[in-house]
Structure 1
Amino acid sequence: MPKILTNRKILLKASLKVFLKNGYYHTSFQDLAKACNIKKSHFYYYFSNKEDLMKEVLVYAHTYVKQKIFSLADQENKSAKEKLNDILNQLKQLYYNHHYGCLMGNTLLELSGKEPNIEKVITSYFDDFKQTLTSIYKDKNSSEAPEILANDTIAKLHGNIMFMKLYKDHSYLENAARQILEQF
């Protein structure tokens, strides 16, 4: 009989890895239970269904990135370029450690137009990402609109995360980060 974990955070972390690897539609509660070393029915103690679990996994991931990475934009003793460099370095480490790409981006591509409640959670993540980068680009005092630069940066990063995943080559993300920093 599997050992039952009653720690919600442990379940979310283990589920995140499974969703990242398999995607939403190709992940079953049986896959999740196996990864968490619990009975499948135990998930229903914490989550009403797979959609509820996925939303909480995405909120968990969003909160983690917001606290550990987006907060680097608030460093008062650093220039805009240094803040952006710190954020890019942390994002690179995050995506290098997860060989399957970006949970938010992958999930959005898989579920776009199909799961509006999940899309709302992903939208919130990307809104925070845009706000973080916009604040940095405002500090840059560029003639270009900070919001446009933020959108372009996110597009460049996530496009290259997909290439990195597809070709199993970190140089795509390295090159994207270098090009983004060259804007300064």
Structure 2
Amino acid sequence: MTKIIDKQQLADQAANLFRMKGYTATSIDDIAKACGITKGSIYHHFSSKEDVALAALELVHDYYREHIFSIINSRTSPTSADLKAFNQAVERFFLQHRHGCLLANLSLEVGATYEPFKEKIRHYFDDWTSCYVRVFSTFHAPKKARALAEDAVAIVQGCILMSRIRGNLESLQRQHAQLLQYCEAMEAH
């Protein structure tokens, strides 16, 4: 008997497979088996694997908007305490998703210009960058805050990649500690 699974559960399971195996190596059959459903059940919700991936990307982005980006975005003037909470939320997410960042993995696998995914990936990283811009804008002019934010996202994503390779979050935790120390030092001035 086939399980009843909703669209969000299906996208979540697909996100896990895409992180673990990659987009190209994950088939609709793999997703169906992981969900305990038939391939036809997937096509009831989605017209293609690409549509499943788009839903998975949106699911991850929605989670970040609600549970992580909101930590910074809900503050008028984010402080180092807000950055600490943000960092901890990111670390909790990657403790639960040890195969890395779906959007970064997908970007590396299919290319950042792959039209079907390009905008979703760009918006996700723009939102992440905007969080850091808001934090750094407390201490710096807009141009410098943006440069620091773009560098921070790049370094943090590199640390997330290394956590996937090494099987631990140590480099991500060190980078988060450095970002926090920087903000605390700026607040002290």
| Cα pair 1:75 1:83 within 8 Å, conserved | no
What does residue range 24-43 of structure 1 map to in structure 2 within 5 Å?
24-43=23-42
| Cα pair 2:78 2:134 within 8 Å, conserved | no
Report how many aligned residue pairs link the two structures: 182
Report which stretch shifted further, 78-87 or 37-46: 78-87
Residues 105-156 of structure 1 deviation map (CA, whole Å, 9 limit, x = unaligned): 11111011562111211011011111121112112x2367110111111011
Moved over 6 A (4+): none
Q: Residue 100 of structure 2 aligns to a residue in which SS?
A: coil
Percent identity over the alignment is: 27
Partner of residue 142, structure 1: 140
What does residue range 74-85 of structure 1 map to in structure 2 within 5 Å?
74-76=73-75, 79-85=78-84
Cα distance between partner residues in 1 of 2:61 and 2:55: 10
What does residue range 18-29 of structure 1 map to in structure 2 within 5 Å?
18-29=17-28
Cα distance between partner residues in 1 of 2:100 and 2:165: 9
The 1:180/1:104 distance shift into structure 2, 3 A limit, reads: same
**Unmatched 5+ residue regions in structure 2?**
184-189
Write the letter of the residue equivalent to 2:175.
Answer: A
TM-score by length of 2: 0.90
The 1:74/1:123 distance shift into structure 2, 3 A limit, reads: closer
| Cα pair 1:111 1:119 within 8 Å, conserved | no
TM-score by length of 1: 0.92
Structure 1 residue 182 corresponds to structure 2 residue 181:
yes
Structure 1 residue 47 corresponds to structure 2 residue 46:
yes
Write the letter of the residue equivalent to 1:176.
Answer: Q
Please tell me the root mean square deviation across aligned C-alpha atoms, in Å. Answer: 1.7
**Unmatched 5+ residue regions in structure 1?**
none
| Cα pair 1:20 1:102 within 8 Å, conserved | yes
Report which stretch shifted further, 19-28 or 162-171: 162-171
